[in-house]
A and B are shown apart, each in its own frame.
Chain A
């Protein structure tokens, strides 16, 4: 699809002049208007557009919040409350940002599982996938830093727990941790750098999203059948078909988003974070935001600190190599009956780890987190490579067109 020639024709003198110097309108036209897109994409493919909306919403609300935020241990908590109380509609701006983080992750996880289910990480889309995982990693770091800025009890102790993980590194651990803190404990210098980096990272994410989309537009979108585009009848132009479909879903997503913002803005948060940070008092349970819980469960499933940290990091790093761990040439799980139960068990595992991340790691909860953590890795490292070699996949349709018109194909031909 990279070789499709541009059909853009400048319509007036100015656009002709501009096109010869900077073909930016041509780029937009080719990428988002006529861009040939498989005609059979289902609603799960709308989450790319939804995620773009999330990123933009986070950046805009974040910039406004930064106008009122004071990155100082004595003032951070009060400055957030000042925004909530004394700034016109400041409570909505802040709640949109806070709920927005949750919505962003919800959409990102759906997007990720869609990619996993339909094999969107496989050749030739490895680079798209890798950029996606880098974006996820940066999202995790950015969201974590943003949560810390509130400087409530949970913020402060989450930073303390997570930065302390670096002390698990042999020999240099202590030094690295103090370097991150900018002192001998979490304090003002830490808060300042978290703020600085929290402001920077979204723009790096935006740049990576650009690369993610660029790579996507070189090879074209995957689709539910996993059969590559073969002819013109397999595709439809992005505009108007997918613009309207994505637009509709963005609005549906906003409806859910607004439910939380307007009626339950603190539901997804933790009440302890409305207590100002107190370095002398540890909260009874330190739990991260819901979107980190699966990783937190993996961290705590392993009794050894260093190996716990390694497992948690590995849980994300393993995603980078799955294009090569998966030996199956068939993309969609729907065509792989032997693999399918293992896939859904993996989905259940992620939910279970999320549940267990919120529980104290003791007794049966600890045992369960260990079992699910084991399956998390077994799925990628053993099941993915082995099943690809031994399975007999279902027959694929010859083309996207056949898949779409398949059953009604004969009727379609006569009408």
Chain B
């Protein structure tokens, strides 16, 4: 065993030497390849292994979505009933029904064979703002506003760290259960608008965003101070709007997170006790061999 350890130590030393010499070559290459400032890890109520959604925040976030985003972005995987489900915004049945009824749903045909319209029901999926992609693009200067249903999981961030320290961050992210990279990106994007630096030529109708890949985004800055009224007295800053709507999107993409993390703790405590008992049993069984 000792000889293995010695060899590992030797090789590790050799490898580190190789790594250090490699840094000199690659650090300059990396600095040139960046696509904007690094997205910072935010504190989310649902972040980490202990996180849970904040009901009030999800309700506010839904408000922002409805008032601001929903005119261009659909959420086709969600149903109105989801708004009252446990672990979500938990609107009351009356509130969810009122939201559903605002939508117009095409359902079946009338006596003449023409499509029939009716107000939305709790079981209906969220009705999108556009009939199809072509209509969406035509209304948005050729850009297609992505659906929000799983967007918070469909985006990620890239750390700007030297290549040799990447394994450390992988381990760190694993150990701290960093699953909110997409949320961090969306929050950064929503608050990352500004004027283009000198020398950057912007495309027609494009907006400068320091976090968007390529920095030219078709969507104009969607949020501003006091854009949406909050019933619960939370300050209506742009930052708060961005945080709340991002949290709502995170919930939409992972609606059972609360239950999953809660169950996880019970399962792990069970497994931990079982592992301990099995270890003791193993020790006592193997002790028989010594006699």
- Which residues of A pack against B, CB within 8 Å? 39, 78, 81, 84-85, 91-92, 95, 236, 240-241, 244-245, 247-248, 251-252, 254-255, 258-267, 271-272, 274-275, 284, 334, 337, 340-341, 344-345, 348, 355, 359, 363-364, 412
Q: Which of B25, B255, B268 makes the CB contact (< 8 A) with A85?
A: B255
Quote the shortest CB–CB distance from B18 to chain A (angstroms): 9
Query: A258-B268, A263-B264, A364-B25 are contacts. A274–B77 as well, Cβ < 8 Å?
Result: no
Quote the shortest CB–CB distance from A214 to chain B (angstroms): 27
Residues B264 and A261 in contact, CB atoms below 8 Å apart: yes
Judged by a CB distance under 8 angstroms, whether B130 is at the interface is: no
Judged by a CB distance under 8 angstroms, whether B271 is at the interface is: yes
Judged by a CB distance under 8 angstroms, whether B263 is at the interface is: yes
Judged by a CB distance under 8 angstroms, whether B150 is at the interface is: yes
Judged by a CB distance under 8 angstroms, whether B41 is at the interface is: no
Nearest 8 pairs of A and B residues by beta carbon = A262-B264, A274-B154, A263-B177, A271-B156, A248-B278, A263-B49, A274-B153, A251-B275
Which residues from B are CB-within-8-Å of A252?
275
In the bound complex, how far is the Cα of B279 from the Cα of A244, in angstroms? 8
Judged by a CB distance under 8 angstroms, whether B285 is at the interface is: yes
Residues A345 and B11 in contact, CB atoms below 8 Å apart: yes
Number of A-B contacts (CB under 8 A): 120
In the bound complex, how far is the Cα of B49 from the Cα of A267, in angstroms? 13
B256-287 interface (Cβ within 8 A of A)? 256, 260-261, 263-265, 267-268, 271-272, 274-275, 278-279, 281-282, 285-286
Query: A81-B149, A363-B29 are contacts. A255–B268 as well, Cβ < 8 Å?
Result: yes
- Which residues of B pack against A, CB within 8 Å? 1, 3-4, 7-8, 10-11, 15, 22, 25-26, 29, 48-49, 77, 82, 149-151, 153-156, 163, 166-167, 173-174, 177-179, 181-182, 213, 253-256, 260-261, 263-265, 267-268, 271-272, 274-275, 278-279, 281-282, 285-286, 289-290
What would be 14 A-B contacts, judged by CB atoms less than 8 Å apart? Answer: A39-B289, A85-B82, A85-B256, A91-B260, A241-B285, A244-B281, A255-B272, A258-B271, A262-B263, A262-B265, A263-B264, A264-B49, A266-B179, A348-B15
Which residues from B are CB-within-8-Å of A241?
285-286, 289
Closest to A82 in B: B77
Interface SS majority for chain A: helix
In the bound complex, how far is the Cα of B276 from the Cα of A251, in angstroms? 9
Residues A244 and B278 in contact, CB atoms below 8 Å apart: yes
In the bound complex, how far is the Cα of B178 from the Cα of A266, in angstroms? 10
Max chain B Cβ within 10 angstroms of own Cβ: one of A78, A260, A263: A263
Residues A236 and B289 in contact, CB atoms below 8 Å apart: yes
In the bound complex, how far is the Cα of B281 from the Cα of A252, in angstroms? 14
In the bound complex, how far is the Cα of B266 from the Cα of A184, in angstroms? 50
Residues A364 and B285 in contact, CB atoms below 8 Å apart: no
Residues B260 and A262 in contact, CB atoms below 8 Å apart: yes
Residues A244 and B282 in contact, CB atoms below 8 Å apart: yes
Closest to B51 in A: A263
In the bound complex, how far is the Cα of B174 from the Cα of A337, in angstroms? 36
Which residues from A are CB-within-8-Å of B264?
258, 261-263
